[in-house]
Amino acid sequence: MIEKEQISNTDKLYKYILDDEEVGYLEIRIVDSVIDIMNLFVKETNRKQGIATKLMKELIENEEYSKIMLEVNEHNKEALRLYTKLGFSEISFRERYYGENTAIIMERYK
């Protein structure tokens, strides 16, 4: 089950609850109809169950926005596959954003 919580005027939290335990969450910020994904997390023991996909689809299908933006570590291949599958495109890079690793900036339009 997914629960949505308004944290502030701009921030929301989507929580994935399984057997009364929060096993994943998606934190977003919305400013001027642009959603920035601040954090997407699924507990290691609950990965590969489609939880991140369900959280992202809930966001995509139920929020008002013109575009969604995010950054992801160049070595996080599973996240890159997920975002690409959901229609995100690479638009830019930030060298050494994650220590020695590059961040890939991605966006998706409504």
- The pLDDT, as a whole number, for residue 58 is 97
Q: How confident is the model over 30-54, as a mean pLDDT? A: 97
Q: What is the maximal distance between C-alpha atoms in the chain?
A: 40
The domain in which residue 27 lies consists of 2-109
SS (H, E, C) 25-58: EEEEEEECCEEEEEEEEECHHHCCCCHHHHHHHH
CATH, residue 49: 3.40.630.30
Domain count, the chain: 1
pLDDT category at 97 given cuts 50, 70, 90 is confident
pLDDT category at 81 given cuts 50, 70, 90 is very high
